[in-house]
A and B are shown apart, each in its own frame.
Chain A
Amino acid sequence: ETGVTQSPTHLIKTRGQQVTLRCSSQSGHNTVSWYQQALGQGPQFIFQYYREEENGRGNFPPRFSGLQFPNYSSELNVNALELDDSALYLCASSLRGPTNTGELFFGEGSRLTVL
């Protein structure tokens, strides 16, 4: 196990609703990245947080937002849900530093279905 935990594991929402997904990073890691993975596709980068600040953002609209807390856990918020937001949302923690290997440690994901 990676030590990265995500909640909830599954959820169903309707169009227009809002959702908050949570991630606890692995102990000692200071960076959290969020990815969206649609069925049959690779993970698409949403954004990354390092020391509580957004440190890069992929091609996602502003209704996708996030936070990182002092303990390095993180939240992903999606407003005005659309059908195409149905996907597996993956949180990955990593350690940025001189000995950074670049390895990402993923949680098991939150599977969102939008009806």
Chain B
Amino acid sequence: RKEVEQDPGPFNVPEGATVAFNCTYSNSASQSFFWYRQDCRKEPKLLMSVYSSGNEDGRFTAQLNRASQYISLLIRDSKLSDSATYLCVVRVGGSYIPTFGRGTSLIVHP
């Protein structure tokens, strides 16, 4: 089983839609969680960290479910510019080495 698993998609949604991605992780000692965004042929960039209580940044909401070992990303009111690959990143406690999922591709169409 992979350490971090994501549905690669693509998720194809119209502008204005709400879309959610899940990511599961296998190591129960995982302590830090992040979502990165990667545009086509570009480098990944931090979108948001994921906190235990859940957190929101504008149209983006991240949630953590430790019992089921998954994190989620919800995007409301999708924009064309949200089209990208969303990478789930997990770091085990005591380690400085994050592990990336393969990413979920989102395509927002007019």
Q: Does B43 contact A (CB under 8 A)?
A: yes
A86 touches B (CB below 8 Å): no
B43 is contacted by which of A48, A101, A102, A108 (Cβ under 8 Å)?
A108
B21 at the interface (CB under 8 A from A): no
| Interface residue? B59 (CB, 8 A) | no
Knowing A40-B8, A109-B43, the reply to whether A102 touches B98 (Cβ < 8 A) is yes
> How many whole Å from A36's CB to the nearest CB in chain B?
11
How many A-B pairs have beta carbons closer than 8 Å: the answer is 57
Mark each residue of chain B from 6 to 42: 1 if its CB lies under 8 Å from any CB of chain A, else 0.
1010000000000000000000000010101000001
Task: Out of B6, B42, B49, name the residue touching A101 (CB < 8 Å).
Answer: B49
Q: A90-B44, A102-B34, A107-B43 are in contact. Are A45 and B96 (CB under 8 A)?
A: no
Residue of A nearest to B89 (CB): A104
Known: A96-B96, A103-B49, A104-B36. 20 other contacts (CB 8 A): A35-B100, A41-B102, A42-B4, A42-B6, A42-B100, A43-B100, A45-B97, A45-B99, A45-B100, A48-B97, A56-B96, A90-B43, A90-B44, A94-B96, A102-B32, A102-B34, A103-B34, A104-B44, A108-B42, A109-B43
Chain A positions within 8 Å of B, measured between CB atoms, are 2, 31, 33, 35, 40-45, 48, 50, 55-56, 90, 94, 96, 100-104, 106-109
21 A-B contacts (beta carbon < 8 Å): A33-B97, A42-B102, A42-B103, A44-B100, A45-B97, A45-B99, A48-B97, A55-B97, A90-B44, A96-B96, A101-B49, A102-B32, A102-B34, A102-B49, A102-B91, A102-B98, A103-B34, A103-B46, A104-B44, A104-B98, A106-B45
